[in-house]
């Protein structure tokens, strides 16, 4: 059974982390955040960690009133197809 994610926000380095897994982002302007990359080590893949990191980033964006630009291919592809509820936060 996969471990429960322990996601931490590291705003100084513009990332969300859980051990060696991370989602990196860039604040492009006061109202826009670019979700650049999700990286999960091979031994941790398949347990929902990438999705948990992405949900944490979307929650942060919502809390801060930010529009999301998902340049990461995982987020713009698989994640948003499985979770269309986040599309309203995505840059049009």
Say yes or no to pLDDT of 89 above 50.
yes
The model carries a pTM of 0.93
CATH number of 8-85: 3.40.630.30
Pure H helices in the chain: 49-64, 73-74, 80-82
Please write the tens of the pLDDT for every residue from 4-49.
789 999 999 999 999 999 999 999 999 999 999 999 999 999 999 9
So what's the pLDDT on residue 1?
Answer: 40
For residue range 58-84, what is the model confidence (pLDDT) as tens digits? 999 999 999 999 999 999 999 999 999
| Strand intervals (E) in the chain | 8-10, 15-18, 21-29, 32-39, 67-70
């Amino acid at each position: 059974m996969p471990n429960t994610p322990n996601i931490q926000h590291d705003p100084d380095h513009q990332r969300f982390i859980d051990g060696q897994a991370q989602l990196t982002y860039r604040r492009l302007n006061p109202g826009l955040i670019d979700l650049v990359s999700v990286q999960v080590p091979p031994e941790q893949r398949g347990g929902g960690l990438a999705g948990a990191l992405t949900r944490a980033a979307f929650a942060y964006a919502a809390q801060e009133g930010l529009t999301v630009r998902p340049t990461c291919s995982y987020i713009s592809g698989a994640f948003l197809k499985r979770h269309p509820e986040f599309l309203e936060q995505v840059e049009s």
